[in-house]
């Protein structure tokens, strides 16, 4: 590493860190991204699905159109830069679990914002169990997240903008308005450490409410890979006859390891989605950086100068990161005010010396 001062040191190379790196790179900023290369991070195991409709209540995501537009434009840029295809458009065929869900859906069809994202009468895949009917989500899909992450990390590494290392906050010094780490100088630091924010001495007071998730990889010959199938859990095509199934939402957990119970629950749920035989070939677990109010956390440390956070992407990192990283970059580079929904300022009373 050379000793020239860089504009930013980004800590964490998951979806958050890589997206903010992309925005800073486009703006011509000089940065170094440090990542410890763990095997099963939230970003690496995510299905990478983007879906503008959320949860049992079928609510439309905050700023859904802006999020989707930004996702598409950013991945068009990545696909050009890295000469690979990452974003796969695939409508979701979502079967209702009971008659109430079907009725709730029907009553929401009057809402214009909801209607634009759904087709109430899709031609349903024969493998999908749809005793109570099915609707189609339009504009959804998934990103080959692991491929994109490793390709972009390699690209940045080649540019000497990516460094594989454990970042220890105790090795960091701040003096004369600049940061000093491993014989290098930086004007600013952006923390993108996902759930490991709890080991960050500057930001560990923020109210994260972490959520463990487990997924299965199953082999299921005969399924049509064109659609994402969903009924409680989703099945997203990966390669050949292999699908990712997920995910569990575990708010009380001891560690990030896979469990037998998690596996059995997911297997039972798959049996309620499809009527085809399948074989489990792998099981993976990770921890989502979810926050108390389920919104991301962006912005500057309340006291320490030149220190920022971009985290809390929660259950929807892929949908949110492109738009929010553009928003964060605009805040960093042009002091654009942050949306109050994601501004770290909303939690300032949690800061130990805050008021």
Binding site for ligand FAD (CB under 6 A): 11-17, 34-36, 38, 41-43, 45-49, 166-167, 192-196, 213, 215, 246-247, 286, 288-289, 311, 313-319
- Contacts of residue 246, Cβ cutoff 8 Å, sequence gap at least 6: 47, 213, 214, 215, 216, 233, 234, 266
Shortest distance, position 140 Cβ to ligand FAD, whole Å: 10
Shortest distance, position 200 Cβ to ligand FAD, whole Å: 7
Q: With respect to ligand FAD, which residue has the nearer C-beta, 36 or 272?
A: 36
Q: With respect to ligand FAD, which residue has the nearer C-beta, 223 or 318?
A: 318
Shortest distance, position 136 Cβ to ligand FAD, whole Å: 18
Q: How far is CA 342 from the centre of its chain?
A: 15
Shortest distance, position 288 Cβ to ligand FAD, whole Å: 5
Axis-axis angle for helices 15-26, 317-334 (nearest 10) = 40
Closest CA to 42 of 277, 211, 223: 211
Closest CA to 65 of 101, 29, 116: 116
Shortest distance, position 106 Cβ to ligand FAD, whole Å: 27
Shortest distance, position 266 Cβ to ligand FAD, whole Å: 10
Whole-number Cα distances in Å, 190 to 149, 156, 274, 297, 301: 18, 17, 43, 12, 10
Q: With respect to ligand FAD, which residue has the nearer C-beta, 19 or 274?
A: 19
Closest CA to 162 of 17, 45, 329: 17
Residues 290 and 314: beta-carbon distance below 8 Å = yes
Q: With respect to ligand FAD, which residue has the nearer C-beta, 109 or 197?
A: 197
Cα atoms in the Cβ-side hemisphere of radius 13 Å centred on 41: 24
Q: With respect to ligand FAD, which residue has the nearer C-beta, 49 or 342?
A: 49
Shortest distance, position 67 Cβ to ligand FAD, whole Å: 10
Shortest distance, position 144 Cβ to ligand FAD, whole Å: 12
What is the distance between the alpha carbons of residues 213 and 179, in angstroms, rounded to a whole number? Answer: 35
DSSP for 18-31, please give it.
Answer: HHHHHHHHHTT--E
Q: With respect to ligand FAD, which residue has the nearer C-beta, 100 or 226?
A: 226
- Contacts of residue 206, Cβ cutoff 8 Å, sequence gap at least 6: 197, 291, 297, 309, 311, 312, 344, 347, 350
Q: With respect to ligand FAD, which residue has the nearer C-beta, 98 or 154?
A: 154
What is the distance between the alpha carbons of residues 33 and 190, in angstroms, rounded to a whole number? Answer: 9
Radius of gyration over alpha carbons of the chain, in Å?
21
Q: With respect to ligand FAD, which residue has the nearer C-beta, 15 or 206?
A: 15
């Amino acid at each position: 590493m050379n000793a020239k001062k860089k504009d930013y040191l980004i800590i964490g190379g998951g979806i958050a860190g890589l997206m903010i790196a992309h925005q800073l790179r486009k703006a011509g900023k000089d940065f170094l991204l440090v990542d410890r290369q763990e095997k099963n991070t939230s970003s690496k195991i995510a299905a990478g699905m983007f879906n503008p409709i959320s949860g049992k209540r079928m609510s439309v995501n905050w700023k859904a159109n802006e999020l989707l537009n930004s996702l598409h434009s950013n991945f068009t840029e990545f696909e050009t830069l890295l000469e690979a295809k990452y974003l796969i458009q695939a409508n979701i065929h979502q079967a209702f679990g009971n008659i109430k869900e079907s009725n709730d859906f029907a009553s929401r069809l009057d809402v214009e914002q909801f209607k634009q994202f759904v087709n109430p009468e899709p031609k349903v895949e024969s493998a999908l169990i749809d005793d109570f009917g099915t609707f189609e989500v339009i504009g959804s899909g998934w990103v080959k997240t692991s491929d994109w992450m490793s390709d972009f990390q390699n690209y940045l590494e080649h540019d000497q903008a990516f460094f594989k290392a454990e970042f220890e906050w105790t090795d960091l010094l701040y003096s004369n308005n600049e940061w000093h780490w491993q014989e290098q100088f930086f004007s600013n630091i952006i923390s993108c450490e996902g759930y490991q924010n709890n080991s960050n001495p500057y930001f560990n007071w923020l109210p994260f409410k972490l959520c463990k998730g487990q997924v299965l990889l199953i082999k299921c010959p005969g399924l049509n890979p064109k659609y994402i199938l969903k009924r409680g859990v989703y099945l997203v095509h990966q390669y050949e006859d292999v699908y990712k199934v997920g995910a569990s939402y575990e708010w009380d957990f001891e560690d990030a390891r896979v469990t037998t119970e998690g596996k059995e629950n997911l297997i039972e749920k798959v049996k309620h989605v499809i009527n085809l035989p399948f074989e489990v070939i792998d099981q993976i677990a990770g921890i989502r950086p979810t926050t108390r109010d389920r919104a991301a956390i962006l912005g500057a440390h309340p006291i320490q100068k030149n220190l920022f956070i971009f985290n809390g992407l929660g259950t929807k990192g892929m949908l949110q990161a492109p738009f929010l990283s553009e928003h964060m970059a605009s805040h960093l580079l042009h002091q654009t005010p942050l949306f109050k929904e994601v501004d770290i300022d909303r939690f300032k009373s949690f800061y130990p010396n805050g008021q």
